[in-house]
Structure 1
Amino acid sequence: MKEHVTKLALIRILADGQFHSGEALGQQIGISRAAVSKHMKVIQEWGLEVHRVQGKGYRLAAGFDLLDEAQILDQTDCSSLSVIPVIDSTNQYMLDRIGQMPKGAVCLAEYQQAGRGRRGRQWLSPFGSNLYLSMYWRLDAGVAAAMGLSLVVGLAIAKTLRQIGAAEVKVKWPNDLYFQDKKLAGILVEMSGKAGDAAHLVIGMGLNLTMATTDTKVVGQPWSNLAEACDPMPERNQLAAALIAGMTETLQRYEEVGMAGFVDEWDQYDNFLNRPVKLLMGEKVVRGIARGINPQGALLLETEQGIVPYLGGEISLRKDD
């Protein structure tokens, strides 16, 4: 973090969306104008759009609210909260600290240098454009009890987003949120634990807030952002607090009722319920009609052979045009 102190100080000043001269920025932070210019190049590499105008100085294309631990904790209870502006991966940070954190601990970041999605794929993580959140949860019932956890977390996030005004947000089996048939957020659940012991879970979420359309080539599929789904947009600290509360409440309920207690609720939010879909399993493609999920969290696909359950980490679901 020490190597980022100056860049973060510059971002805090520029977050107001106003012009600041290079000289004024340097004086505020105690560096030269040349050093300001050097740091600005890195800030742009982090995904922030910086405008430079002769005679006016620098400003961000749009001002934004920086994440703030105190503001978030004022709005929700959290057993342990860490806001780390620049990080390799919020999930990896939590995985490295299993056994040292209380249940419900959360890590938030402004920018991930090595964000990842399912199967180790890159997760695009520009500074301040999205919300990167990871939560630690311990399931005393063991590894088997974690089956379907990404589904209930998806429901928790969808319900929270609807409550703040994003009325059309839906879930997509097994780990995405959708808005108007486009990806809005992704969930990555990583687990450690032995058979017969408690399951230690790190639940990561990346939610697109205002990510620019120029980034689509990295995402690899149609996507949307919360600014399109929700008007007005909630303040970022308010949003983070609401998501922490929603996830915590849902995980506590999951411990009591299991996956079976969420099946009916899933149908209310399912983006592809009763629609033609295709399952991508390596080189194999299976087509059918999505008929919801079963009590184990398996996708139910109606094919010529009848309704078949599909469950596994190597399956991708897409609409079938």
Structure 2
Amino acid sequence: MSTDRTSHGHWPEGYGRIMLDTVDSTMAEAARRAGDIDKPTWIMAQTQTAARGRRGRAWQAPAGNLNATLIFKPDATPAEAARRSFLAANALFAALSIYVPSEKLALKWPNDVLLSGGKVAGILLESSGQGPFVDWLSIGVGVNLRHAPDGVTDAAFPPVSLTQMGSWEVAPADFLTTLADAYATQEAKLKQMGFARIRQDWLGHAARLGEIITARTMREEITGIFDTIDDDGNLVLITGTGPRSISAADVYF
């Protein structure tokens, strides 16, 4: 296995970077610093003591993995801000494909990245604002670079790490540079070509597109053919009673 630990790409112009040793969570740290940032800023910690995923689930974040949050103040409505999860997913796909063959990667709606069928990365969005536009948006990213969480035996998509799946080792700070560069490219695409291009790119790497999947919401379980995501980023399933648009759910294959 190669021990090349260099990053691929350059730190993007106009983006800040805060590097921490230990923090409760980079998402919590981003919220604390929200009033002080004057440009999009990545916050990375070597370890987190209280990391979390979607719906408040615990997220293991040992040293050697990427624990980072991008916080910024987009000129965006809450719905527009929420669509940034697809920019982050596209950026993660691009960054990870430098270290592992892209054909082994897939994007799982709404915010996971799969490597050979296992979960290698997750995305979490939070925003704040009372008016028509958000005051700030944070995009949390966790990537299993060196370690897969221990003791996870009942997951539909068991966690995997890059090194476990045959990649060379990459230091979190180097991967962050690769990811930040890729994310800045996604923001440029959004500005120049709109969400339609982001959506098109995401669908090009979507897991199980055109196949039967199950979406489990807080109220029901819906099974159908994964047809697309719509202009708002909702999952569209073709069911026995027609198309269903789903805004939030856990997806199972």
For normalisation by structure 2, the TM-score amounts to 0.87
Q: Could you list the runs of 5+ residues in structure 2 that have no partner in the other structure? A: none
Query: Among the aligned pairs, what percent are the same residue?
Result: 25
Considering fraction of residues, name the structure with more helix: 1
Displacement after TM superposition at 1:217 (Å): 4.5
State whether structure 2 residue 224 is matched by structure 1 residue 288.
Answer: yes
User: Secondary structure of 1:297's partner?
Assistant: coil
List, as ranges, runs of 4+ consecutive aligned residues in structure 1 with deviation greater than 6 Å: none
User: Secondary structure of 2:39's partner?
Assistant: coil
Write the distance in 1 (CA, Å) between the matches of 2:117 and 2:93: 14
Write the distance in 1 (CA, Å) between the matches of 2:197 and 2:185: 14
Aligned residue pair count? 248
Counterpart AA for 2:252: R
Choose 187-196 or 157-166, whichever is displaced more: 157-166
State whether structure 2 residue 166 is matched by structure 1 residue 222.
Answer: no
1:154-193 matched pairs, under 5 angstroms: 154-167=89-102, 168-193=104-129
User: Secondary structure of 2:12's partner?
Assistant: coil
Displacement after TM superposition at 1:170 (Å): 1.4
1:81 matched residue in structure 2: 17
1:317 matched residue in structure 2: 251
Give the alignment's Cα RMSD to 1 decimal.
2.5
Q: Could you list the runs of 5+ residues in structure 1 that have no partner in the other structure? A: 1-62, 66-70
2:88 matched residue in structure 1: 153
Write the distance in 1 (CA, Å) between the matches of 2:167 and 2:50: 31
Write the distance in 2 (CA, Å) between the matches of 1:209 and 1:101: 28
Write the distance in 2 (CA, Å) between the matches of 1:301 and 1:194: 32
Counterpart AA for 1:204: G
> Is the contact between residue 176 and residue 185 of structure 1 (CA under 8 Å) also seen in structure 2?
yes
* More contact order relative to length (CA 8 Å, sep ≥ 6): 2
Displacement after TM superposition at 1:256 (Å): 4.3
Q: Which of 165, 171, 174 does residue 238 from structure 1 map onto?
A: 174
> Is the contact between residue 142 and residue 199 of structure 1 (CA under 8 Å) also seen in structure 2?
no
Q: 1:255 to 1:189 in 2, by over 3 A?
A: farther
Q: 1:221 to 1:165 in 2, by over 3 A?
A: closer
Displacement after TM superposition at 1:221 (Å): 4.3
Q: Which of 205, 218, 228 does residue 141 from structure 2 map onto?
A: 205
Displacement after TM superposition at 1:192 (Å): 0.6
Write the distance in 1 (CA, Å) between the matches of 2:154 and 2:74: 34
For normalisation by structure 1, the TM-score amounts to 0.70
Residues 211-255 of structure 1 deviation map (CA, whole Å, 9 limit, x = unaligned): 156342497741211124453333433211101111122134324
Residues 250-296 of structure 1 deviation map (CA, whole Å, 9 limit, x = unaligned): 13432444432222212211012112211111352111111121121
The structure that has the greater radius of gyration is: 1
Write the distance in 1 (CA, Å) between the matches of 2:82 and 2:97: 25
